[in-house]
């Protein structure tokens, strides 16, 4: 009997809503996908909400509703693609859009929007959301959670692996072949600063294949300033977000550098932090698997390979997992765990005090 789940996510890059339909009845079978652009007007509102220290409640509520409608629409399009009905689907796992993530604040908090009640009503499918809060309130960082998935589906008993997810923020998962431990944490900026800088200077949403960064030269003095941020010196568990690493953070450190050199330096920063995190262990990952939007940034991949030297850098597609859909698949899988009432042990990843049940269920009875 098929175990069909839908996963929905709009990542830290906020370029689109990604939707997947996955069958978990054997191992993992990706059935169909759909990507839906977030309207520019709503995207601008979301940026404002992320940047505003004191969120406008009316604006936040409206965005929560609009995103809920969009997520529901994406899920219904998936069903139409494969001629399935709501009753065929076990549940939807919806991550929503992160507005702020402050696990180290007092009190700690994390906020993702995209109303799950709307998604359930519009689709007729039990919807699970708010996956990070339980971990945060159990004393954890609430992120990254993807190492749970990487460990389940990407570990290899013959090779020491590191999985690197490069979205707006980059995170890594360390997977020793002997399964001795699992460790994962945010390394810092992924595509987020690159996207923000090219948006401001070239009015483009992203640096296609890293072509603009490739025209610049790394500014060593700027790189040194960026690397001096306290977050990079923190030991894991640690997580961050674009409410910290954003254009304001960058601009506070600039001093009239050429724009393309800033882009090159940001690409170098991301690559340096990732490989430093991979290599700063008492064992060696000889295979570094890349997923997320960063897999398409050729300039960034070249820098990663230079830092990694002879260690192999590959796309997750080489092990049968599409890098563009991995995060959405992960939230479909989290929905499955929640529906089965299975707690997960995030203690070695996020620092939570005990295993936690991730996600709030809006049931369709």
CA–centroid distance for 301 within its chain: 18
CA distances from 221 to 181, 212, 258, 265, 267 (A): 37, 20, 13, 10, 15
pTM over 0.75: yes
d(CA 337, CA 354): 17
| pLDDT tens for the 365 residues of the chain, in order | 789 999 999 976 677 999 999 999 988 999 999 999 999 999 999 988 988 767 788 999 999 999 999 999 999 999 999 999 999 999 999 999 999 999 999 999 999 999 999 999 999 999 999 999 999 999 999 999 999 999 999 999 999 999 999 999 999 999 999 887 788 999 999 999 999 999 999 999 999 999 999 999 999 999 999 999 999 999 999 999 988 999 999 999 999 999 999 999 999 999 999 999 999 888 889 999 999 999 999 999 999 999 999 999 999 999 999 999 999 999 999 999 999 999 999 999 999 999 999 999 999 87
Note whether 326 and 91 are within 8 A (CB): no
CA–centroid distance for 32 within its chain: 20
DSSP-derived pairing of the beta strands 4-9 and 161-166: unpaired
């Amino acid at each position: 009997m098929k175990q069909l789940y839908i996963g929905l996510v709009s990542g830290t890059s906020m370029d689109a809503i990604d939707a997947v339909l996955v069958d978990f009845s054997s191992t993992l079978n990706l059935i169909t996908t759909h990507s839906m652009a977030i309207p520019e007007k709503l995207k601008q509102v979301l940026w404002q909400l992320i940047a505003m220290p004191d969120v406008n409640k009316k604006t936040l509520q409206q965005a929560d509703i609009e995103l809920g409608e969009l997520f529901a629409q994406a899920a219904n399009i998936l069903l139409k693609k494969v001629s399935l009905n709501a009753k065929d689907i076990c549940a939807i796992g919806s991550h929503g859009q992160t507005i702020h993530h402050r696990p180290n604040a007092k009190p700690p908090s994390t906020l993702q929007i995209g109303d799950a009640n709307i998604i359930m009503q519009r689709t007729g499918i039990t919807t699970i959301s708010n996956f990070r809060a339980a971990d945060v309130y159990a004393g954890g960082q609430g992120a990254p959670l993807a190492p749970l998935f990487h460990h389940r589906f990407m570990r290899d008993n013959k090779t020491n692996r590191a999985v690197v997810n490069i979205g707006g923020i980059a995170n890594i998962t360390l997977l020793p072949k002997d399964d001795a431990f699992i460790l994962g944490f945010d390394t810092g900026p992924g595509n987020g600063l690159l996207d923000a800088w090219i948006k401001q200077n070239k009015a483009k949403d992203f640096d296609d294949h890293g072509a603009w960064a490739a025209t610049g030269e790394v500014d060593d003095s700027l790189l040194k300033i960026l690397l001096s941020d306290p977050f990079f010196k923190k030991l894991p568990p640690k997580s961050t977000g674009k409410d910290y690493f954003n254009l304001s953070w960058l601009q506070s450190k600039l001093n009239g550098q050429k724009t393309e050199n800033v882009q090159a330096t940001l690409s170098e920063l991301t690559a340096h932090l990732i490989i430093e995190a991979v290599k700063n262990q008492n064992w060696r990952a000889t295979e570094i698997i890349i997923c997320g939007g960063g897999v398409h940034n050729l300039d960034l991949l070249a820098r990663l390979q230079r830092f990694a030297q002879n260690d192999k850098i590959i796309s997750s597609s080489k092990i049968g997992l599409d890098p563009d859909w991995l995060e959405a698949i992960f939230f479909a899988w989290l929905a499955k765990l929640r529906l089965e009432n299975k707690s997960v042990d995030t203690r070695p990843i996020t620092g939570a005090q005990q295993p936690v049940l991730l996600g709030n269920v809006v049931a369709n009875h």
